[in-house]
Every structure is written in C-alpha cells, then in structure tokens.
Chain A
Amino acid sequence: MPKVKKKRVGFVIDMTPLVDITFLLLTFFMFTAKFKSEAEAEQKFFIERPLASADTSKLPEQDLAIVKIAFPDSTKQDTSYFYEMTNETDWVAVKSGIEGLTPEQMQGAQLQVSIETLEALIKRTYVVNSETSMAIDADKSIRFKWVSDAMEVLSTNKFTKFNYVTKKR
C-alpha cells in the first residue's frame, strides 16, 4: 500500500504579537512627533536654544509672535532677526501695514528683517492685536547685544512682558 500523504494546507502564524508591537510603535511615534509650523518649514537655520532648568510654563500657542535671532547660515558669521506670528489673520494684517515688502515676503510665514523693520512690525502688531504674546527665540551663542536691542524695541512698544524660549536642562 502506498503511503497516503497528508496534504499541507499552508501554515498559520499568530499575527497578534506582531500587530501589537506595530501599534505600540505607531502610537509612540505618533505622540512624540512634533508638527512643524509653516514658518518652521520655511526656516533654513537651526536655533540652539540656551539651557534653563525645568519650568512648568510653556510657550502659548495662540496669538504668539516670535522674534527669532539666529545665524542664517552654518558659518555663524552673520546674525539676523526673523519675525513670525501664529495667528494667520493678524499676520496678514500686520504685513499689509508695512511698506516695502516684496510680494514674496508678503506670502512668507517668516520674515528676515532688520532691526528697523522689526520695530515697524512690532509697532504694527500692537495696533492689530495688543493681546499678542511675545517670545524671543535666540541662539545661545549669539552676542547679547542682539537680544538687548530686541528687548528694547519690545519694551518701548508696550510689550513689557515676554518669554525667552529655552531648552530644558
């Protein structure tokens, strides 16, 4: 009698642990990912923030205007001011009140500005929305002069309360 071979019907793998881990990783990455704002997506430089001890206060998300002071290129030769606002409508209103902006700059979410234009922008910001919170996000190795100039512009234009953006030590 020839042996009757049992035909294989494929094989079964328990997929449950695999999918468990997959979802675990998925959720992990979902929650640690930080979405970039439009201005950050445009930004070509990196800001190495100064270290400060842990604080519970966080950067406000609504009606925030950020003065960024950074090295626009990696050679760190040059320092420049950048200005951006989170409130889209206010930002358009602020920019429309500034003369001498190119159509390209009118579209942009982040403006590279001189101290004079920065002052004009901040003045205009106060007119458009005086409730705007101000933040200074500066690279830790820039000269303090840049920051103190920006602080002076802010305080002379009625923004006497503002935030330094820092990194947790």
Chain B
Amino acid sequence: MAGGGSLGGGGRSKRGKSSKRKAKKRVGFVLDMTPLVDITFLLLTFFMFTTTMATPQVMEMKVPPEIDVPVEVKESQLLSILIDDEGNLYYFRAQEEAEELKMKDLRNLAIKENLNQINDLIIVLKVSDNVDYGTVVEALDELNLAEAGIVDEMRVNRNQPNFERKRKFTIADFTDDDREKIGITVPETGGSE
C-alpha cells in the first residue's frame, strides 16, 4: 500500500515541519485570583475580629493580708463547709452538728443561707490538706455561682434593684475539732498543721 508508505513518510516530514513551526507556544495558564483573594481577606478579617487568643481562664482569689489582731465575729453568722480527705462535704452552722452535703447541693445551700442573713453570713471553707485540689476548685466554683443566684434573687424576686452584695468568705484550716465533728478519729501523733 503506497498510501500507507506515503503516510509514514509524511508523518516524519510533518514532525520535522512542526518542530520548525514552533510559533504558537503555550503561555502557561491564567488564573483569576480575584475571588480567591476576596474570600481569603473576608475570612481573615472575620477571624481577626471574632477570635480571642486561647488564653487559659482564671478564678480570682483574694486572701486577707496577715494581721495579728483577731477579728471578732458572731458565731451565729458562721456557716462552715468542710471538705474531708476523700472530698466529701459537710456543713454546720455556728457550733451545730455537722451534716453531710453533696457537691450539687452546695450552691443552693449557699444561696439559701445567705438569703437568711443577707450580707452578714460568713462562709468558712475548711479544707483538709489531703484532698485533691480539683475538688476545692469545684467547691469554690459552686460558691462563686451562688453569688449570682443571691444577687438575682434579691434584685428580681425581692424587688431591691439597688441591692449591693458584700461577700464574706474565708478559707480556714481543717482542725482536729472539725475531724471529730464529722466522725473521723484523730490520730494521736498526727493532726493538721
């Protein structure tokens, strides 16, 4: 078949021609960057204005400065909350008998007791040295949340929109007396520091 032969020859010659004819060169590809940059800047500004950098949150604590003069308070104003070694909670008013308390009831107790003696009640948190720090923070958190409940109750339900809350709170040592109160036998040599 002559045609086939000529085709082959033609093909060769064509290839040669095309290499010479390299006039139409590809100029890469064109990409419209406008929508890309639009979206990118939109997102960038959105995040810039909405996000806060991931700093850990904190719980503020104020302790009284060291003073030598003992402060006298009425016993009836005291509400003691005890946390024992295992993280169990107990509470007692003044010198009454200690009663067991659940962590979830702590907030309601603090609200109820505070409303009975508005701005006079002193909550004393007595924490055993051996309890987990996490449990203490949990209890402190519940007491902090109770504050909001107290102010809310006074301002909304008791119609005192100008109610000013004065919080009285302290952390005290867990003494041997407290141990006895919740029925823990005090070791003769040890005791709290």
Q: Residues of A at under 8 Å CB distance from B?
A: 2, 9-10, 12, 15-16, 19-20, 23-24, 27-28, 30-32, 34, 49-55, 57-59, 61, 69, 135-148, 151, 154-156, 158, 160-169
Contacts and interface: CB of A to CB of B under 8 A. Distances in A.
B51 A139 contact: no
B145 to A, nearest CB: 6
A151 B66 CA distance: 12
B94 interface: no
Contacts of A55: 57-59
B153 interface: no
Given A9-B26, A143-B133, A160-B64, A20 B59 contact: no
Contact of B62 (A23, A161, A169): A161
A164 B131 contact: no
Interface residues of B, number: 46
A27 B59 contact: no
14 contacts: A15-B31, A27-B44, A50-B137, A51-B134, A137-B56, A143-B130, A144-B133, A145-B130, A147-B133, A148-B127, A158-B65, A160-B62, A164-B61, A165-B56
Contacts of A154: 63
B133 A142 contact: yes
A23 B43 contact: yes
B96 interface: no
A34 B54 contact: yes
B58 A10 contact: no
A2 B61 CA distance: 91
Contact of B59 (A52, A142, A151): A52
| Max chain A Cβ within 10 angstroms of own Cβ: one of B40, B127, B132, B137 | B137
A168 to B, nearest CB: 6
Contacts of B51: 31
Interface of B: 7, 26, 29, 31-32, 35-36, 39-40, 43-44, 47, 51-66, 127-138, 140-141, 144-145, 171, 193
B36 A144 contact: no
Secondary structure at chain B's binding surface: helix, strand, loop or mixed? mixed
B136 A161 contact: no
Contacts of A136: 61
A168 B57 CA distance: 7
Nearest to A158: B65
Given A59-B58, A140-B134, 12 more contacts: A50-B138, A59-B55, A59-B56, A69-B133, A141-B133, A144-B127, A144-B129, A144-B131, A163-B59, A164-B137, A165-B57, A165-B58
A156 B66 contact: yes
| Max chain A Cβ within 10 angstroms of own Cβ: one of B47, B57, B131, B141 | B57
| Max chain B Cβ within 10 angstroms of own Cβ: one of A53, A61, A144 | A144
B117 to A, nearest CB: 25
A140 B44 contact: no
A163 B60 contact: yes
A166 B59 contact: yes
A144 B130 contact: yes
A59 B31 contact: no
Contact of B56 (A49, A53, A141, A160): A49
B26 A10 contact: yes
